[in-house]
Structure 1
Amino acid sequence: MAEMNGTEKPLPVKTATAYKSPTTHRVMPADTKATTKTENTSYGDNVKSTTTTTEYKSSNMSEAPDYRSNISARPGFSRTSTSSTTSTSYGQPMSGGRVLKIVTEMGSSAVGSGLSPFGQNAASTIRDAREREKKDMADLNDRLANYIEKVRFLEAQNRKLAADLEALRSRWGKDTTSVRQMYEGELSEARKLIDETNKQRGALEDQIKKLQEQLADYRKK
């Protein structure tokens, strides 16, 4: 079995639970070569996993299926691994043959007394973001309510002004009609008088022109 060379910083643990895969015993031929590899994996601060892989090689070994036990922990934020390999030969060295691989994986998990600093910071950031979103949403709702109130007020003012304008137009139209009917006759007589005066003026201008010509002829004599 390989010796683990990795070192890990001890962490405070409240509870721990270890899981171990079942062990399989096989009778190996004399010319079997065994190779063992151990890997340590760390997920976050409180979750660790250990994987041990053993390979058996023999030129006379019959075909056997691979056996693997997979027990994995929940993924974390960091991963460190150390491994060492030892080789033991039974009998003569072999040039080839079947390969039998046995993987033994052990995992352990622990639950601490609280969240890690990273988790606390993330939770605080999410909480602050949600609070800001709620505040922004409340402000937008207030602004929308004020806008709707102003729009309704302006619509009411427009309806009132339109009604007042229509009333003034109707009243002024009636007054204009009565005044027009009252002075229509006088306006017609005044137009006729202006036309006659223009005609008389034209006739007088012709007479004045003739008299000026006669006066000029008299002076020449």
Structure 2
Amino acid sequence: MAPKLYTTALSPAGHSVLLTAEAINLKMEVIMIDPSKGEHLSPEFLKINPEHTFPTLDDNGFIIRESHVINTYLVQKYSKDDYLYPQNLQKRTLIDQCLYLDCGVIQPKMMAILEPIIKHSVKIIPKDKSDNLIQILSTLETTLQGKKYLTGNNVTIADLNIIATISACSVLVPVAANRFPNITEWITRMQSLPYYEQANGINFDIFVNFVKNKLMRS
């Protein structure tokens, strides 16, 4: 049976799993959950994931509840090669470093802005929180210096995870090309991947419209 992915169009982390699945040509059963209808709190979903978070992977009864772990798992189990997550220790360590940066730093800084908008109808992004995102963008700008992708000249799951997060961050803090030329070129490079639009572009548009509507409502 194909793995089941429980996610929502409003989850950048979920977008990264869709990107990874497309990259390795893995067919999954994607089950879209609507949090606005309380579907994430249904007894059926809570049985699978008591944390009621997205994305959640059910691989024939084996449950994983964190996007970065899901992506490394899917590549190691289902990919026909290891270019997205190489066996080479040093290359893999560089990828892990980026994954930890995403889950430990970038995503929390993004959610510090996003959660008040979604849950508490906050209309203004505090300067200190936007400055935090700009600071991490500066770090990524330096990381990409002289490279096509985050860990070198080949795309890896580090890129697939972080492009989903940075796409969402760009809605909150614009990524100016004159200030972040390396990031801008990297985003364009990622968007040119043959599977990008299907996995991230469509869902990203839904995410953008949702956040903008939240910010515009009186």
> If the length of structure 2 is used for normalisation, what is the TM-score?
0.18
| Higher strand fraction (1 or 2) | 1
TM-score normalized with structure 1 length? 0.18
- Whichever of the two has the greater Rg, that structure is 1
Q: Which has the higher helix share?
A: 2
